[in-house]
């Protein structure tokens, strides 16, 4: 599968097959952007149907719920999705954490420049990571874990991973 930064059209019923692992079959849905409540229903209905299938080859075994790490908190769509029990485990996968750390680093560099302070780059990078991790806990993991049916696990991915 090729990597793309472009948002495409996704049909959750369409199977995505992997050349290196023919045992893995994935399904990709449209994102849950603001105002897209119908997509939450489409995905929830798909999980309900495929999560209970008798044929193990057709059954859905796990959901990877991707969230792009940004300054925004958990949205209504995420709250709606995690407010009902799913028939399969859901793993929240938070992407682009490295970009969020870089954005935080830039904020710190700009603040230091405005104040006319000299800063040690290594210390600044460590502080940016610390702040990003703190924001992650406050705006993502804590909020997800407080939902009625939180994900079974939360995984953070960076470009290097």
For 66, residues 6+ apart whose C-beta sits below 8 A from its C-beta are: 93, 94, 95
H-only helix segments in the chain? 37-50, 76-81, 97-115, 121-136, 142-145
Asked if residue 7 belongs to a domain, the reply is: no
Q: How far is the C-alpha of 39 from the C-alpha of 155, rounded, in Å?
A: 23
Which pTM does this prediction carry? Answer: 0.79
How many residues in the chain? 161
The better pLDDT of the pair 57, 3 is held by: 57
Asked if residue 83 belongs to a domain, the reply is: yes
pLDDT of residue 4: 45
Model confidence at 137, in pLDDT bands (50, 70, 90)? Answer: very high
Q: What is the number of structural domains in the chain?
A: 1
Three-state secondary structure call for residue 113: helix
Asked if residue 66 belongs to a domain, the reply is: yes
Asked if residue 9 belongs to a domain, the reply is: no
* Nearest by Cα to 111 from 98, 126, 124: 124
* 147: containing domain: 16-156
Asked if residue 5 belongs to a domain, the reply is: no
For 64, residues 6+ apart whose C-beta sits below 8 A from its C-beta are: 91, 93
Asked if residue 65 belongs to a domain, the reply is: yes
Asked if residue 11 belongs to a domain, the reply is: no
pLDDT of residue 27: 83
| Contact between 109 and 124 (Cβ < 8 Å) | yes
Which of 66-75, 93-102, 114-123, 138-147 is least confident? 66-75
Asked if residue 64 belongs to a domain, the reply is: yes
């Amino acid at each position: 599968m090729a990597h793309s930064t472009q948002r495409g059209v996704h049909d959750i019923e369409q199977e995505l097959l992997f050349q290196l692992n023919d045992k893995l079959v994935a399904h990709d849905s449209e994102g849950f952007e603001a105002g897209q409540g119908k997509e939450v229903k489409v995905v929830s209905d798909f999980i309900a149907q495929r999560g209970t299938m008798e044929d193990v080859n057709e059954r859905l075994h796990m959901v990877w719920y991707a969230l792009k790490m940004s300054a925004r908190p958990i949205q209504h769509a995420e709250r709606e999705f995690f407010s009902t029990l799913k028939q399969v485990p859901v793993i929240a996968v938070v992407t682009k954490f490295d970009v969020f750390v870089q954005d935080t680093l830039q904020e710190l560099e700009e603040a230091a420049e405005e104040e006319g302070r000299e800063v040690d780059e290594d210390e600044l990078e460590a502080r940016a990571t610390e702040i990003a991790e703190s924001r992650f806990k406050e705006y993502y993991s804590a909020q997800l874990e407080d939902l009625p049916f939180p994900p079974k696990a939360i995984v953070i991915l960076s470009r290097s991973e």
